[in-house]
Amino acid sequence: MFSKDSSAIRAFNIVLLALLMVAGCKKEAALTPQQEVGAMLASAEVWENPVVFVDGADQSEVYKDFNISFGNGTYKTTSGAPIWNPSGTWTFVNEEATLMLFDGATQVDIKSISEEILELSLLWEENTFEPGRNRSVKGRHVFKLIRKKKK
């Protein structure tokens, strides 16, 4: 029926077609750590309900109303002054997306991030307890926040 040459050509065409189909399938590029963490930060309506330790001492009461939300290179906070500006900009400092810079000045470590929990750490150099002003506590702050899902 078929000659050996036509069988070989047919087999070659099948293999060639299979290779073209595989090569033609576009593979999605893997996200960089910065893209992945940035998307996780922005996935929350806000990060809220903070548990805050300053140099190992529970200071959650000082920051009980604090929350933070992230956009593409921007952020907004509630009840974070004087440590956190009401709004501003942020960027990653390293490729691993574990270190952020807020407003070009404040360095913040991402200690951990998951679908539900964000843990940030920063060093604050001032105590502010003056009447009529927001208060803060000097030292290494660790904020553990819970994700409020977007509606």
Q: What pLDDT was estimated at residue 34? A: 98
pLDDT band at 130 (very low <50, low <70, confident <90, very high): very low
CATH of the domain at 78: 2.40.128.540
Q: What pLDDT was estimated at residue 132? A: 46
Specify if 138 maps to a domain.
yes
Domain residues for the domain of 113 are 33-149
- The number of distinct structural domains making up the chain is 1
Specify if 28 maps to a domain.
no
Specify if 11 maps to a domain.
no
**75-97 residue pLDDT tens:** 999 999 889 999 999 999 999 99
Specify if 61 maps to a domain.
yes
Mean pLDDT of the chain: 87
Specify if 15 maps to a domain.
no
What is the 3-class SS of the chain, one letter each residue?
Answer: CCCHHHHHHHHHHHHHHHHHHHHHCCCCCCCCHHHHHHHHHHCEEEEEEEEEEECCEECHHHHCCCEEEECCCEEEEECCCCCCCCEEEEEECCCCCCEEEECCCEEEEEEEECCCEEEEEEEECCCECCCCCCCECCEEEEEEEEEEECC
- Section 3-25 average pLDDT: 64
Specify if 23 maps to a domain.
no
pTM, to two decimals: 0.76
Specify if 2 maps to a domain.
no
Specify if 21 maps to a domain.
no
